[in-house]
A = this chain, B = another copy of it.
Amino acid sequence: MRLSSCFMPTLKENPAEAQITSHRLMLRAGLIRQTSAGIYIWLPLGLRVLRKIEQIVREEQDRAGAQEILMPTIQPAELWQESGRYDAYGKEMLRITDRHDREMLYGPTNEEMVTDLFRNNVKTYKDLPKMLYHIQWKFRDEIRPRFGIMRGREFLMKDNYSFDIDTDAARITYNKMYVAYLRTFARLGMVAIPVRADAGAIGGDLSHEFQILAETGESTLHYDKAIEDFNLASLAGDIDPETVEKLQSLYAMEEEKHDPDNCPVPAADLRTAKGVEVGHIFFFGTKYSEAMNAKVAGPDGNLVPVEMGSYGIGVSRLVGALIEANHDDNGIIWPEAVAPYKVGLINLRTKDDECTAACDDIYRQLGDAGVEVLYDDRDMGAGGKFADMDLAGMPWQLIIGPRGLKNGVVEVKNRATGEREELSLEDALKKVS
């Protein structure tokens, strides 16, 4: 994409309304714009990141055997009346009355709808286990939306729902999703710490929150350092059930529940770090299947309510969380897996025909090789181009000027390390491809 025609409205100044790093940088780099409190437009660069994260989340759900569906954003109130959550949910639920005076709502989550789908279409234990997920916009009418898309009102969530015949099977499914989450966050280049959690409004008795580590994180975690090793292990292959149980028994606690005097982990093995919550998984048994009569015939022919779980990842929230974990004073430092473009190509002298011809050619070559490039071909000074490219955070920068070209070299900069190298064009292209 040529920056001269790309819609990437960057800001030189820090916007006053942004209190945290990710919000500030997303506005400044032209990734998002607010339209109402807690509601945002995703601009081209931001949307590319969002879609890449979404795709990684999707691939790991599919790999774990979940099937993607898409439930609508608008739900009928009846389903929530059946489960008993319609009144309980309070003002965070965006309630709507349609033209025929039917009570509707903008879904904050989908336990009821997916339970209804299940009970209407699945009748026997032979069709279990089943995991159905979707990646859809949700709405929670936060009283004080803040921190940009980290605590917005309209947000993109992956929510998966599992159906099993008994609690043993359900536990296997739960652990499968637990591992899928570790893999997902590891592919995003993050260390994720699963923390035993309360089930809260969802209900149930087994639950983990996944927090990714970021210096600017909102909560403080204390955990056994052995947990970090499992993040990488999750990428290497499937983790067997025993290992998962072992991992789940390792110590990980939020600050408010951590008692230093009674911590089972020796000080040398204890890590303390800040985290940002990006996922939450729940096993809640028959809470919804009982209330909504979602039963299947078991092996003996008797009808039994299915054992259910739900598994959420804040997809849009992850964009902010990744920035919280990957930035410096100059801007964002995207992990390669989710960068809007892998390479930022900077033409230092657009008015120099030779330099521009060389840049155009490099742009074409990289495109042909399938490398995603943001090409700064704008007619402006080098300083502004460097600043914008650092701000937008592409992992690699290719900096092309007349002087280097005369000597047969171009500059390659690694955004994360700041390392710069002068390389022959050929070597430079190899390096970033």
Say whether A71 contacts B35, CB under 8 Å: yes
Tell me the A1-35 residues at the B interface (CB within 8 Å): 5-7, 9, 33, 35
Question: For the complex, is A289 an interface residue (Cβ under 8 Å from B)?
Answer: no
**Shortest CB–CB separation between residue A248 and chain B, in angstroms?**
26
Tell me the A291-338 residues at the B interface (CB within 8 Å): none
Question: What residues of chain B lie closer than 8 Å to A137, measured between beta carbons?
Answer: 72-73, 137
Say whether B47 contacts A68, CB under 8 Å: yes
Question: For the complex, is A43 an interface residue (Cβ under 8 Å from B)?
Answer: yes
Chain A residues touching B, majority SS: mixed
Question: For the complex, is A98 an interface residue (Cβ under 8 Å from B)?
Answer: yes
Question: What residues of chain B lie closer than 8 Å to A132, measured between beta carbons?
Answer: 7
Question: For the complex, is A91 an interface residue (Cβ under 8 Å from B)?
Answer: yes
Cα distance A70–B48 in the bound complex, in angstroms: 10
Per assembly, the copies of the chain total: 2
Cα distance A6–B67 in the bound complex, in angstroms: 8
Kindly supply a per-residue 1/0 record for chain A positions 60-100, scoring 1 wherever the CB is within 8 Å of any chain B CB and 0 otherwise.
00000101111111111000000000000001101010110
Say whether A72 contacts B40, CB under 8 Å: yes
Tell me the A385-423 residues at the B interface (CB within 8 Å): none
Question: What residues of chain B lie closer than 8 Å to A35, measured between beta carbons?
Answer: 71-72, 75-76, 113, 116-117
Question: What residues of chain B lie closer than 8 Å to A143, measured between beta carbons?
Answer: 99
Question: For the complex, is A141 an interface residue (Cβ under 8 Å from B)?
Answer: yes
**Shortest CB–CB separation between residue A192 and chain B, in angstroms?**
26
Say whether A70 contacts B41, CB under 8 Å: yes
Question: What residues of chain B lie closer than 8 Å to A73, measured between beta carbons?
Answer: 73, 137, 154
Say whether B74 contacts A154, CB under 8 Å: yes
Cα distance A137–B68 in the bound complex, in angstroms: 17
Question: For the complex, is A262 an interface residue (Cβ under 8 Å from B)?
Answer: no
Question: For the complex, is A271 an interface residue (Cβ under 8 Å from B)?
Answer: no
**Shortest CB–CB separation between residue A29 and chain B, in angstroms?**
13
Question: For the complex, is A204 an interface residue (Cβ under 8 Å from B)?
Answer: no
Question: What residues of chain B lie closer than 8 Å to A70, measured between beta carbons?
Answer: 41-42, 47, 50
9 inter-chain pairs at a CB distance below 8 angstroms, sorted by A residue, are: A9-B121, A33-B120, A39-B74, A42-B69, A44-B67, A44-B68, A74-B154, A92-B99, A137-B137
Chain A residues within CB distance 8 Å of chain B? 5-7, 9, 33, 35-36, 39-44, 47, 50, 65, 67-76, 91-92, 94, 96, 98-99, 102, 104, 106, 113, 116-117, 120-122, 130, 132, 137, 139, 141, 143, 153-154
